[in-house]
Structure 1
Amino acid sequence: MRIAVVMDPIDRIKPWKDTSFAFLLSAQARDWECWYIEPDWLFFADGKPQAQTAPITVIDRDRDFYTLGERDVHALTDFDIILQRQDPPIDLDYHYITGLLSLAEQAGVVVGNRPDAVRAANEKLLAQHFPALCPPTLVSRSIDQLKGFVAEQGEIVVKPLDAMGGSSIFKIHEDDENTQVILEVMTRDQTELVMAQRYLPEIRTGDRRVLLIDGEPVDHALLRVPGEKSFRANLAAGGRGEVVPLRDRDREIAATVGPWLAERGYWFVGLDVIGDWLTEINVTSPTCAREISAVTGQDVTGAMLDRLADRTGR
């Protein structure tokens, strides 16, 4: 089996926590040929999608953890499986890349997650296909609407629709004297949509990253607990991670959203759950597999690769 991973520059990752790196380790353990592609190496020429590619060997350690072979041009159809693992934001360039990967998929390559599905998704809005599972939510650029939502809910969080890792998230309470300026900045003076949700005090005990493989939940989640003086639990924002078994509520949420997501080509997914509420559905480059595998011994990324291999029919 030949697999290519489209990912952000590997020299910038933290291998002990990077899920794209975990996919490479799992593929290598299966004796697959592993190839590395950076997003800006993709192009279209001679009637087919192509890329500069480099064979890659990975080693499970914190430093000197990869070796790249000589870079060369390959048609994307030279690969059986392509993983799209580029981080957000999903900007125009990201859209164009999914377009190139769609051409590879059309030619018979298994691309995960499906590029058409990723292109159609906003990870903040995707959860709103299931509003009964989500906390009260407002998506708007109107400062008056957002202020009304604060007054209604008492305390809210506001976040941009295109960020990740807990960046640019603000908590606002009804009597906050900075409400006006925060909303002006977040909406860029009412020119950009933002998401506001009721603040969930359960975040103090952490949010759960629940991974889905082809619509089915992994048996353990990563509980991400905010730092002492923060309400953001994301590991990138200083949160602390702890691997925990799934609760019944986690399984209920997964059973509701999982089949719908898998049917649309979202095969590797990260659900964010705070208390009993679904807050986000991550489909671009879901993380936390390394942490879960390190504690449980389960090859989370390997299980996903096996499902993708089945889809190749080889």
Structure 2
Amino acid sequence: MQLSFAKEISGKGVSLALGFVVDPLASRHAFNDPAVALMRAAQSHGHEVFAIETPSLGWRKPEDGHPGGCFGELIHLHLRPDDHDWYRETGRAWRPLRSLDAVVVCLEPPADGEFLAVTWLLERAEAEGLRVFNRPRALREHSEKIAIAEFPQFAPSTVISRDPSRLHEFIDEQRDVVVKPVDGGAKVRVFRVHRNDPNRNVVVETLTDNGRRTVIAQRYLPAIAQGDKRILLIGGKVVPWCLARIPRAGETRGSLAAGGTGVAQELSPGERAIAETLGPLLLKRGLLIVGLDVIGDALTGINVSHPAGLAEIRQQSGFDAAGATITAIEHACGIS
């Protein structure tokens, strides 16, 4: 039987026990971390907050003396507004994940073997009745870089391959391209390569590991100077503000981890058109919160596991995207 922590809170309705599957807490930077923003929003909505660090996840066969199923170490947290001392641990225990009301996945790329193992384990928890946001199968099926291949009408000129000859052909054709691994994160190696670049062979050989690793090459978009936009979808609806990650001088990457500057901006008509097309479709697949990466009017990535931009958008625009996400989760859990 489902064991729920949910209880009535005077004046606040129903309180949920929400688990957040995260990379180790010690690695979190609270001032702009989306997991921290979501946990703070959950607490402000009156819910109990538990962190579940990925190394603690596992599964055991049900047998005498052991209920079995997917389990993890549930770390009960009290969130604080101080970004340098942002939480107090108020208890921890190994519990079946189904003892929670819902779990929210907040994991940074890369989508490596351990990431896949997390989705497989959470899929077992989902089969036991646990609500998981975003759904584990949907997390697996939407590679941040390769997912744009489903929406070629919005993508820039692109080739995805491990074959150096295909990549060189693309560089010759497009003249100015950006090349990067398909499974990287914010600090990923990103190279801008010109057709006459004397180092192009080295770049292609290094990134593909001499044809062993798949990479993505895209036509260089001068609009990157105005920012690599992170557009948020929550419950299939478009957040009216995006975070433009503007590269520092001489840099190709706009990510904040690479030194970019985050500026909250209202969406352009072209950006909104992309987001409104994808929002309902992705929600039907179990993706409650999604971050679209857009440069100019071109879709360059679909992030489904680490919705960066929540904190900065609220700080600069006042729009509480993290709170809207928790409201969407409440609705999905049937309490609002």
TM-score (norm: length of structure 1): 0.97
Give the residue type in structure 2 aligned to 1:26.
Answer: A
Amino acid of the structure 2 residue aligned with 1:50: F
Q: CA deviation at 1:164?
A: 1.1
Give 1:242-281 correspondences, 5 Å limit.
242-281=263-302
Which residue of 21, 29, 34 maps to 1:6?
A: 21
- Corresponding residue number in structure 1 for 2:240: 219
Question: Is residue 211–residue 218 contact of structure 1 (8 Å, CA) maintained in 2?
Answer: yes
Residue 130 of structure 2 corresponds to residue 109 of structure 1: yes
Selected match of 2:57 from 36, 42, 58: 42
Rounded Cα–Cα distance in structure 2 between residues aligned with 1:241 and 1:92: 30
Q: Is the 8 A contact 1:102 1:115 kept in 2?
A: yes
Map of 1:8-23 to 2, 5 A cutoff?
8-23=23-38
Cα distance in structure 1, aligned partners of 2:111 and 2:19 = 20
- 2: CA distance, partners of 1:167 / 1:96: 22
Q: CA deviation at 1:166?
A: 4.6
Listed one character per residue, the Cα deviations across residues 108-158 of structure 1 (whole Å, up to 9, x for unaligned) are 222111111101221101111100100010011111111110110010000
Per the alignment, in what secondary structure is the counterpart of residue 273 of structure 2? Answer: helix
Residue 30 in structure 1 maps to residue 84 in structure 2 = no
In structure 2, how many angstroms separate the alpha carbons of the residues matched to 1:250 and 1:11?
Answer: 35
Where structure 2 has 5 or more consecutive residues not aligned to the other structure, the ranges are: 1-15, 63-67
Q: Which residue of 1 aligns with 2:81?
A: 60
**Maintained 8 Å contact 2:247/2:254:** yes
Whether the 8 Å contact between 2:77 and 2:91 is mirrored in structure 1 is: no
The answer to whether the 8 A contact 2:142-2:302 is kept is: no
Q: Alignment partner of 2:132: what SS? A: strand
Contact map agreement 1:50 1:74 (CA 8 A) in 2: yes
Alignment-derived partner of residue 199 in structure 1: 220
Farther off after superposition, 225-234 or 301-310: 301-310
2:261 & 2:113 partners in 1: Cα distance? 33
Contact 1:51–1:74 (CA<8 Å) still a contact in 2?
Answer: yes
Q: Which residue of 2 aligns with 1:310?
A: 331
Match of 2:94 in 1: 73
Q: Deviation of residue 313 (structure 1)?
A: 2.2
Query: Is residue 210 of structure 2 the alignment partner of residue 189 of structure 1?
Result: yes
Give unpaired runs (5+ residues) of structure 1. none
Superposed counterparts of 1:122-161, under 5 Å: 122-161=143-182
Query: TM-score under structure 2 normalisation?
Result: 0.91
Q: Is the 8 A contact 1:87 1:284 kept in 2?
A: yes
Moved more, 264-273 or 99-108: 99-108
Instruction: Please say if 1:92 is aligned against 2:113.
Output: yes
Tell me if structure 2 keeps the 8 A contact 1:209–1:223: yes
Give the partner amino acid of 1:40.
P
- Residue identity (%): 36
Query: How far apart are residue 105 of structure 1 and its match?
Result: 1.6
Matches of 1:88 and 1:242 in 2, distance apart?
22
Q: Distance in 2 between matches of 1:304 and 1:221?
A: 15
Which letter maps to 1:3? L
Letter in 2 for 1:242: V
What is the RMSD computed on CA atoms of the aligned residues? Answer: 1.1
* Runs of 4+ more than 3 Å apart: none
Task: Tell me the SS of whatever aligns to 1:149.
Answer: helix
What letter is aligned with 1:186?
Answer: L
- In 2, distance between residues paired with 1:137 and 1:166? 21
